[in-house]
Chains A and B, each alone.
Chain A
Amino acid sequence: MPHKCTRCEKIFKDGAVEILNGCPNCGWNKFLFVHDEYQAVPESTIEGEEEQPAKKFLKEIDEFLADQGVKVDEVEKIEQEPEGERIESIRIMGPGSYELNLEALLERKEIIMALKEDGTYMVHLPSVFDNKKKKKK
């Protein structure tokens, strides 16, 4: 599933490499999962790095969340939140090693995944919970 840089809006077909290294276009480090219909920028795909450890996990988490009906359409709202408000719900310490902030998972509207200990790379997702509720009622 493709990812979009939240600053320059460039879309990457499979954004794991960019998420890890920052946007090659503008250097920004925040990305959003976007849907397949936006998937029209094949030239931005960086090939030959498929062994990137977090890539597979992200992709699978990503597919999993897509399965749950998560839509990414609250870019602005999330972007306007002050930095300090962002508490990551899942911290990926490395392949097979995760830290979960249960409080954030239970209470917050979005799921924020942070890669590596410095927390530089974040992926914001709006709530699976919200989506579910809307669908139901």
Chain B
Amino acid sequence: MGFIKKVKKNFSSIFKSLFKKKIAKIGIYGPPNAGKTTLANRIIRDWTGDAMGAVSNVPHETRRARRREGVTIESNGSKVTLDIVDTPGLATKVDFHEFMAHGLEEEEAKRRAKEATEGIIEAVKWLDDLDGVILVMDATEDPFTQVNVTVIGNMEARKLPLLIAANKIDLPESSPARIRSAFPQHPLVPISALDGQNIDALYEEIADHFG
């Protein structure tokens, strides 16, 4: 009896250690044009060799949440496997005129506006399934926006681990320090998703924080 129990226990701990590498579902959130898709593409390219989605300076290029499963990141001996979700930018206003300003026809602009709106609902819905969030902010812009404040407040209420990526540090006018002082309660890594500056520090933080 004791023996069986012991065997069972041993078996279950072997089982556990075999499957301990749990998968963390991580969502990449942030306002439109912060560089979420650029970052998602970089992470996926760096660790799997593939690409994820289209990058564009037209806002709301990503209108459906995109997911890539089983991306394993290794940094400083810790290893973490992630399901990565790239989301449409969270915004408080979606207007087809914005798209028309980027040269789209009215019909197409309206269609995109509707899709972006649905995409935002979808992105919010995804939050329920996630284990952590990378919040991408454009470090050249004022971090104190309604979107950032609302999203951060809500993630805190949900007790979702949050990692801030202060993006676009390749641009001279960027100021990650401004973001850090706006939201000092969360870990922050200044990066350039575009040219890869400091991206290793982000991977380290991801492995630490979500592993």
Q: Point out residues on A near B: beta carbons under 8 Å.
A: 57, 60-61, 64-65, 68, 90, 93, 95-103, 105-107, 111, 128-129, 132-133
Q: Is the CB of A101 within 8 A of B92?
A: yes
Q: Is the CB of B117 within 8 A of A90?
A: yes
User: Once bound together, how far apart are the Cα atoms of A28 and B66, in whole Å?
Assistant: 40
Proximity bits, B27-42, A CB within 8 Å = 1, else 0: 0000000000000000
B55 within 8 Å of A by Cβ? no
Chain B residues near A101: list those with CB within 8 A. 92
Q: Which residue of A lies closest to B120 (CB)?
A: A100
B180 within 8 Å of A by Cβ? no
Chain A contact residues, majority secondary structure: helix
Q: Which of A64, A68, A97 contacts B94 (CB 8 A)?
A: A97
- Interface residues in B, total, Cβ within 8 A: 29
B173 within 8 Å of A by Cβ? no
Q: Is the CB of B109 within 8 A of A96?
A: yes
Q: What are 18 A-B interface contacts by the 8 Å CB criterion?
A: A60-B118, A96-B95, A96-B109, A96-B113, A98-B93, A98-B114, A99-B92, A99-B93, A100-B91, A102-B90, A102-B124, A105-B124, A106-B154, A107-B157, A129-B125, A132-B125, A132-B128, A133-B128
